[in-house]
Amino acid sequence: MATGKAPSGTLHPVKGFQLGTVKAGIRYPDRRDLVVMRWPEEGSVAGVFTQNAFCAAPVLLCRERMQSSPCALLVNTGNANAGTGEQGMSDARRTTAAVAEALDVRSEQVLSFSTGVIGEHLPVERLETGIPGCVDNLSEDSWWHAAEGIMTTDTRPKGFSRQFEFEGHIYTVTGIAKGSGMIHPNMATMLTYIATDAAVEQALLQELLAEVADDSFNRITVDGDTSTNDSCILIATGKAGNPAIQDRDNALFANLSEVVADVCQDLAKALVMDGEGATRFVTVAVQGAETVEQAHTVANTVALSPLVKTALFACDPNWGRILAAVGRAPVDNLDVEKIQICLDDVQIAEQGGVAAGYREADGQAVMDKEAYTININLGLGSASTQVWTSDLSHEYVTINAEYRT
């Protein structure tokens, strides 16, 4: 298999997948804020969604329609249509019906996605006015416009694309995402759309998405808040011409899985790098755990710690904060004598205290960098995982304090 990351700024079109956007004036003046995406009815669709109990009306509608052969979706920004009760569901159905009419498909074949302010009713008329323009603008080349059209507090659009060769045929995987704050596992306010031209049976596609989401979007945290609207959708258009992949033993599936995982990890990292007010991108890597779950618990505890995150912002090698966060992780059998902690390759802690050879100047040199890794070895086993996080800055407070003003 040969794979290649697309040149900077290039998002490869996916055969059979079209995107169209308009400026509907939902909340942000003179910004793309309404997106329609369409794919063939014979394509397959997988989705994973927020675990927040107050999930938004669009999430409820998507879960209801995932088995109805969806072939289109509608995304609006500026309004989350969350905490809106029965009217929220009615508004989601009404706007997707407008898309269905414009595309000549059944309403239940259209998925709904919203992101923005919670607790306000959807400005349905603005969406209905903008939908025909989105349909008129449908194109396989509009990935970047769509990436802009799904943003809220994001500072930049996020998209990645890969192509790989298998048995003489070129396959494409392209994805876009939005998210900057309210980012935390279960799912990591995040919307993600990934498409491939390969043909994949729906149940297998769902398995693939659940697996790659767990190792990407469920391994990031900006602020510890889980949104009401988080959704991640993977579409296989089937237009590459391969027989539909039906089992995991298929060699093409192994290649496709690797590339989809790469795109999802790139998107997940981009969400953290664009975290609200973020100035640092930090990987918390835990090894030597008994299980992956144990490693994830420790990594997440460190990545979520406000004291650690403010030290990251200050570029302060206050290793005691990291040590304390590891020690309070809800893991029963931690042995402080076995735990080793490093900043990149600079060892800062061992045998329950500061490492014998540690010099603060060395720790400072690492923390002055924009990206680095906190390496933690628990000394208990062979399992490992990592979490990607950002610092917590003054700007994060400003952005969220002024979000509705």
**Average pLDDT of the residues in 143-167:** 94
What one-letter code names the amino acid at 182? M
43 and 152 together in one domain: yes
146: enclosing H helix or E strand: helix 143-149
147: enclosing H helix or E strand: helix 143-149
pLDDT tens, residue by residue, 318-337:
888 999 999 999 998 899 89
- Report pLDDT for 7: 42
Closest CA relative to residue 73, chosen from 106, 109, 47 = 109
Domain boundary among 240, 271, 302: 271
249 and 229 together in one domain: yes
Q: What pTM, to 2 d.p., does this model score?
A: 0.87
400 band by pLDDT with thresholds 50, 70 and 90: low
Residue 396 located in a structural domain: yes
pLDDT tens, residue by residue, 23-75:
999 998 899 999 999 999 999 999 999 888 888 999 999 999 999 999 999 99
Residue 77 located in a structural domain: yes
**Average pLDDT of the residues in 84-110:** 97
Q: Quote the number of domains for the chain.
A: 2
**Average pLDDT of the residues in 130-158:** 95
Residue 137 located in a structural domain: yes
Residue 288 located in a structural domain: yes
Cα distances from 58 to residues 65, 95, 123, 222, 404, in angstroms, run 10, 11, 14, 24, 21
Residue 188 located in a structural domain: yes
Place of tokens 């309070």: 328
Write 136-141 long-range contacts (CB < 8 A, 24+).
Answer: 136/20, 137/20, 137/21, 137/22, 138/18, 138/19, 138/20, 138/36, 138/38, 139/18, 139/19, 139/20, 140/13, 140/14, 140/15, 140/16, 140/17, 140/18, 140/19, 141/13
What CA–CA distance (Å, rounded) separates 24 from 31? 8
Q: Is the pLDDT of residue 162 over 90?
A: yes
- DSSP 8-state symbol, 390: E
What CA–CA distance (Å, rounded) separates 123 from 346? 54
- Report pLDDT for 271: 87
218 and 129 together in one domain: yes
- Residue 243 sits at φ, ψ, to 5 deg, of -60, 140
Per-chain mean pLDDT for the chain = 90
246 and 388 together in one domain: no
**Average pLDDT of the residues in 214-230:** 77
- Report pLDDT for 51: 80
DSSP per-residue codes, 132-185: HHHHHT-BTT-HHHHHHHT-SS-SS-EEEEEEEEETTEEEEEEEEEE-SSS--S
Q: Is the pLDDT of residue 93 over 50?
A: yes
Question: 137 versus 52: which is more confidently predicted?
Answer: 137
Other C-beta atoms lying within 10 Å of the C-beta of residue 7: 7
Listed range (59-63, 293-297, 333-337, 391-395) with the worst mean pLDDT: 391-395
Q: Is the pLDDT of residue 172 over 70?
A: yes
45 and 117 together in one domain: yes
Listed range (104-118, 157-171, 363-377, 385-399) with the worst mean pLDDT: 385-399
Residue 129 structure tokens: 């006015």
- Report pLDDT for 11: 96
Residue 41 located in a structural domain: yes
Q: Is the pLDDT of residue 188 over 70?
A: no
Domain boundary among 271, 302, 331: 271
1 band by pLDDT with thresholds 50, 70 and 90: very low
Place of tokens 């969350």: 82
**Average pLDDT of the residues in 95-99:** 98
Residue 276 located in a structural domain: no
Domain CATH code at residue 288: 3.10.20.340
Determine the structural domain holding residue 240 and report its residue range: 2-271
Q: Identify whether 50 is a catalytic site residue.
A: no
pLDDT tens, residue by residue, 336-371:
899 999 999 999 999 988 999 999 999 999 999 999
How large is the C-alpha radius of gyration of the chain? Answer: 22
Which residue of the set 77, 189, 237, 389 is catalytic?
Answer: 189
- Report pLDDT for 396: 64
Q: Is the pLDDT of residue 405 over 80?
A: no
98 and 186 together in one domain: yes
186 band by pLDDT with thresholds 50, 70 and 90: low
2 band by pLDDT with thresholds 50, 70 and 90: very low
Q: Is the pLDDT of residue 132 over 90?
A: yes
Question: 405 versus 136: which is more confidently predicted?
Answer: 136
Cα distances from 25 to residues 34, 157, 177, 322, 351, in angstroms, run 9, 19, 21, 45, 59
286 and 264 together in one domain: no
Share of the chain above pLDDT 90, in %: 74
Question: 239 versus 224: which is more confidently predicted?
Answer: 239
Domain CATH code at residue 152: 3.60.70.12
